[in-house]
């Protein structure tokens, strides 16, 4: 954890809310602000601003479209690569058991990879 994140968490534990609005660091306190905390926040202001800054968005629609198309291409390639994963274990697997459990129902599906590969 970064020093800035530790300081933000310390401020929250002491009843302060640290946030950025319009590029400015803001601190809201319930009651009188502790002087030592204010000094720490001032000292580490650039680091805190970097910690709280949102990730830069993709600049243009074309870049977003290209990123989505690249993701779809990767997904199609991975789907093709794994098309027969349930009948032919990945290279190097000689015997084994794979259990897939549904997060919603808790129901399990067991896939056995017999010795010698395909059966």
Alpha helices in the chain (DSSP H): 3-13, 35-43, 45-52, 61-81
Give the whole-number percent of the chain exceeding pLDDT 70: 76
CA–CA dist 86, 73 (Å, integer): 22
Of residues 94 and 7, the one with the higher pLDDT is 7
Q: Residue 91 — pLDDT band, cuts 50, 70, 90?
A: low
Burial class (CB in 10 A: 0-12, 13-18, 19+), 113: buried
**For position 83, what pLDDT does the model report?**
67
95-112 per-position pLDDT tens digit: 667 778 887 888 888 877
Summarised one tens digit per residue, pLDDT across range 34-64 is: 899 889 999 999 999 988 887 666 568 888 8
> pLDDT value at position 119?
46
Query: How many angstroms separate the CA atoms of 109 and 7, rounded?
Result: 46
Task: Quickly count: other Cβ atoms within 10 Å of residue 68's Cβ.
Answer: 10
């Amino acid at each position: 954890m970064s020093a800035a994140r530790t300081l933000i968490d310390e401020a929250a534990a002491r009843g302060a809310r640290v946030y950025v609005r319009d590029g400015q660091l803001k601190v809201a306190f319930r009651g009188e602000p502790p002087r030592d905390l204010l000094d720490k926040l001032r000292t580490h202001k650039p680091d805190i601003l970097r910690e709280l800054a949102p990730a830069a968005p993709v600049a243009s629609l074309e870049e977003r479209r290209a990123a989505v198309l690249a993701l779809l291409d990767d997904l199609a390639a991975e789907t093709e690569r794994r098309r027969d994963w349930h009948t032919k274990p990945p290279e190097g697997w000689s015997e084994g058991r794979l259990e897939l459990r549904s997060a919603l129902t808790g129901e399990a599906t067991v896939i056995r990879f017999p010795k010698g590969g395909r059966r």
